[in-house]
Structure 1
Amino acid sequence: MKQLFSKSTSNEQMYFSDLINGKENNFDFIRFLAATLVIFSHAFPLTGNVDLLLILSNGQTSLGDLSVFIFFVISGYFITQSFHYSKSIFHYIKARLLRIFPGLIVAICITTFVIGPLATSLTLSEYFADKGTYKYLESIFLYPMHWYLPGVFENNVYSSSVNGSLWSIPFEFMFYILVALLGIFSLLNKKTTLLLFNLLIIIVFFDYWPLSMTHFWGLELKTIFELLLYFVAGMLVFYYKEKIPYSNFFAMISIVVLYLTVYTGGLKEIFVFFGTYLIFYLGYNLNVKTWKFYRYGDFSYGLYIYAFPVQQYICFLYGGDMNPYVNFLLAFVIALILSILSWNLVEKRALNLKKKEFIVVPISWKDTVLNLTEFVSNLVKKVIRPFIKHSWKTFTVLFMIFLVVFTKFNQYPSEIEFPYTNNNIFGGNWLVQSNNEDYRWVAKEASVQMEQPPNQNKLVISGYIPDNFKEVKNVKVIVNDMLLSDVSIQPGSLDLQVELESNNSELDKKLVVQIVFNDVHKPLESDADQREMSALISKISID
């Protein structure tokens, strides 16, 4: 600690920009440490225990979530830097694709075809005949992610996910796309980043979002904004690194403030500022030289994507109940070995392809638009036009198919019976659902987007409240921000029938249905499922 905070040899004030020297920084080690903390954090819920930071901070956040915030802060800085240093937009996209997907694809395949068969309760023929096995492979494309494999880990304490760590990757890739779009339209600069940061503070800190939309690309907007705030904090450091002082005093203040917020509240909000400063202080610290760590490889990504299924498999071998510290130690060693193999056999080889130039396009948005226009024009001339052979009949058929698919994709249901796979319509606190569950848990408040057909004016919500959920005594049903029902309830079957405003038009009417319970059931420490829940919902329909 004395060495970490020792005085600089110069009396001049130094700034982060003064400390940049190629690969000579500590960020690879910080990412590795964050990935390790994620494993440590997950060891607790996976073995039926509670994360230590979650206990200390009175439920504010876990060590795993805090580590993910660290990833996003660092990513915001280096992804912005990557765009500015890229020769072209295609060079940037290629670099991002090669970093995310090769390792992810192999990890998902190993989970599906190696861990799955070893840990499923089904026979091998049943497992490989089940559609859910191959549906899980769709996670390779990120949108949507799938969490279950048939019969895999179903008797574990945490049976709801095969690889829960992958949840953050779709958000990360979405932000890569955001940086590209800002860059293409010449908006990737100090002013735009600062404006975006301030807007996100208003949305996240004050919970202000004026639109009714709750999901985008199947991801919850609330989580998008929260993670984007940390990502943009890293972007801001990139743009203002010449103005941010490298100071032992500021680092010490940051540690004290963050420590206090663990007990007083506001840890996640304060971490955006003081946590971000500490990350870059340590990343560029003059007295901590871990950059030699990089010569062996960048193992943090592999550690992150392999550890969760390894931890689950260890729990499976132990019969689902084990000491969290034992789980962490065993999983860390095994995941580290897998991450070393992943780096040397997959990730490093994929990243070497960045050096191969397939196409070079200037990053200027005008040149990009011109090149894209030319590309689309050539595509039409060489591929699409010969295919349709100038035939309006063929065009009409293809266009009708497009209309049907597009309309179906954007259509909201008038009846939902679980399991239901279109997650774009759900908002609020719906808990993760397995493909074979005919219900879905709600934690206090949840919403769903539906369509009310003409002359159908009754909303029916069916479900169940377990006998030990004594805290749950009241439920409200709000439709398009209007309170339509407020009733007392008891454990047992849940059957809500709510009269809607008449829909006398010939078109379906779009509705946002909110179900709000007065409280959640807080599980005992001895309960296998540590999630807080209010009720399970099996069906919602408009009759």
Structure 2
Amino acid sequence: MVLGDRLGDRDNNFDVLRLLAAWAVLVSHSYALVGLREPLHQLDTSLGHVGVLIFFAVSGLLIRRSWELDPSPRDFWIKRGLRLLPGLAVVALVTAFVLGPLVTRVSLVTYFSAGETWIYPLRIVVLLPFGADLPGVFDESIYGDSVNGPLWSLPVEVFAYLLLFLMGVVGLLRSRAAVTALAVAGLAWAAVWVTVTSPALGAVSVLAAFALAAATYDWRDRLVLSHPVAAAAFAACVLAGFGPEWLSVVVWTVGAVYLSFWFAYALPPVGRGLTRFGDASYGLYIWAFPVQQTIVQVLGGDIHPWLLVVVATPIVWLLAIASWRLVERRALARKPRPRPVPAT
């Protein structure tokens, strides 16, 4: 099967894949929040990082395709904004003005008189989550006072959108050689970056997955998706986990991109029951951490990570479905449609 033969096919497994990736982040953080090393640390990575890699890989391909179908700067940013901001605004407001007052360790007078409380929703919506704290909220957590840590990836993803947008505007996306060269340079940068910076900043290497996935669009008619190659890619990822860090980054990035597309297009329909009520992947990602933090605060930091998973998953799932049905889906219905090309 060739990638290009399936790109326009809506009968794919992307919704399920994104949902599994978001849940992988939830599982991974269930370990981190109780002070345990996250799954896959034996391979010099984490289950959460793999989940984010998948998100960036899927996004790289689909956003590139979206630009090619509708290269309108205005429409490009409207679509991105409608996908990210409405759901994010709701989780920010609910966290600040519903959850925060319930779990804060300071008095309500102190909480509501603090500038941080009122600026928090704005900081989240304008994608400045770093240091966006709430008074007395989760300040005794193992993560310090990080209210919604996973949101770090959203400004990074928007930065990836910006790079692709600029390449499209100046015409670089029309050059397969230029796009491929930039993807290779991104991989090289990621391999070096993780060895010279902190693990937190090193996570930004997921940009390389976005760049590589966007570049595969130019090779879509030659990229074969097959089970033997997928098995080899999976094996290579496992083996690379025992090698030097730079090699692990390169192999895991390439492997995540290939395996994501293989899962989406080469496998028969899987897990469709998980998405029958809506696309809960984004909601799951942005709601999970505050819910998990609250559960740890209520039940104690010695809770078993899988008990945390079992308790958090249905709560976050319901919130994510509500987010999709009441907020995200309605916002996306307002997306501009590609405009017809005028006849010449």
- Relative to the length of structure 2, the TM-score reads 0.90
Q: Which residue of 2 aligns with 1:108?
A: 92
Structure 1 residue 145 displacement after superposition: 3.5
1:170 is paired with a residue of what secondary structure? helix
Please identify, of 272-281 and 38-47, the stretch whose mean Cα deviation from structure 2 is larger: 272-281
Is 2:285 the partner of 1:304? yes
In 2, Cα distance between the equivalents of 1:148 and 1:132? 7
Which residue number corresponds to residue 5 of structure 2? 18
C-alpha contact (below 8 Å) 2:180/2:215 kept by paired residues: yes
Structure 1 residues 204 and 162: alpha-carbon distance in aligned structure 2, compared to 1, 3 A threshold: same
Q: Which residue of 2 aligns with 1:245?
A: 224
Amino acid at match of 2:25: V
- Structure 2 residue 137 is matched with structure 1 residue 156: no
1:66-145 equivalent positions in 2, closer than 5 A: 66-86=50-70, 88-137=72-121, 138-143=123-128, 145=130
Which secondary structure state, in structure 1, belongs to the residue aligned with residue 106 of structure 2? Answer: coil
Distance 2:273 2:6 in 1: 17
What amino acid is aligned across from residue 180 of structure 2 in structure 1? L
Q: Shift of residue 223 of structure 1?
A: 5.0
- CA distance in structure 1 between the aligned counterparts of 2:129 and 2:107, rounded to whole angstroms: 27
**C-alpha separation in 2, matches of 1:62 and 1:282:** 20
2:164 is aligned with 1:179? yes
The CA deviation at 1:330 is 1.0
Q: Of the two, which has the highest radius of gyration?
A: 1
Q: Which residue of 2 aligns with 1:405?
A: none
SS of corresponding position for 2:242: helix
Instruction: Specify which structure has the bigger relative contact order, considering alpha-carbon pairs within 8 angstroms and separated by 6 or more residues.
Output: 2
Aligned amino acid, residue 87 of structure 2: G
Displacement of 1:327 in angstroms is 0.7
3-state DSSP class of the match of 1:264? coil
Q: Structure 1's 262 and 203: CA in aligned 2 closer, same or farther, altered over 3 A?
A: closer
User: Equivalences for 1:149-298 in 2 at 5 Å?
Assistant: 149-189=134-174, 190-207=176-193, 224=204, 226-265=205-244, 266-290=247-271, 294-298=275-279
Residues of 1 paired with 2:155 and 2:262: CA distance? 28
The Cα of 1:279 is off from its aligned counterpart by: 1.2
Measured against aligned partners, the alpha-carbon deviations of 1:491-525 in whole angstroms (never above 9, x if no partner) come to xxxxxxxxxxxxxxxxxxxxxxxxxxxxxxxxxxx
Question: 2:173 is paired with a residue of what secondary structure?
Answer: coil
Label 1:119 to 1:207 Cα distance change in 2 as closer, same or farther (>3 A). Answer: closer
1:16 and 1:97 map into 2 onto residues whose CA distance is: 28
**TM-score normalised per structure 1:** 0.58
Structure 1, unaligned stretches of length 5 or more? 1-13, 215-219, 363-543
Aligned mate of 1:323, from 304, 319, 332:
304
Q: C-alpha displacement at 1:200, in angstroms?
A: 1.8
Measured in 2, the distance between the counterparts of 1:276 and 1:195 equals 17
Q: Distance in 1 between matches of 2:211 and 2:71?
A: 23
Q: Let me know the Cα RMSD of the aligned residues.
A: 2.4
1:238–1:290 Cα change, 3 Å: farther
SS in 2 for 1:183: helix
Please list the CA deviations of residues 374-428 of structure 1 after superposition, one character each: whole Å capped at 9, or x if unmatched.
Answer: xxxxxxxxxxxxxxxxxxxxxxxxxxxxxxxxxxxxxxxxxxxxxxxxxxxxxxx
Write 1 or 2 for the structure with the bigger share of helix: 2
Residues 57 and 256 of structure 2 are in contact (CA less than 8 Å); yes or no, is this contact kept in structure 1?
no
SS in 2 for 1:202: helix
CA contact (8 A) 1:25 1:290 kept: no
More strand per residue: 1 or 2?
1
Q: How far apart, in 1, do the equivalents of 2:92 and 2:65 lie?
A: 29
Residue type at the aligned position of 1:308:
F
Letter in 2 for 1:27: F
Deviations 1:448-488 (A, max 9, x none): xxxxxxxxxxxxxxxxxxxxxxxxxxxxxxxxxxxxxxxxx
Once the two structures are TM-superposed, the CA of residue 191 in structure 1 deviates from its matched residue by: 2.1
Q: Sequence identity, in percent? A: 35
Distance between the aligned counterparts of 1:155 and 1:338, measured in 2?
25
Kindly state the Cα deviation for residue 27 of structure 1 after the two structures are TM-superposed: 1.0
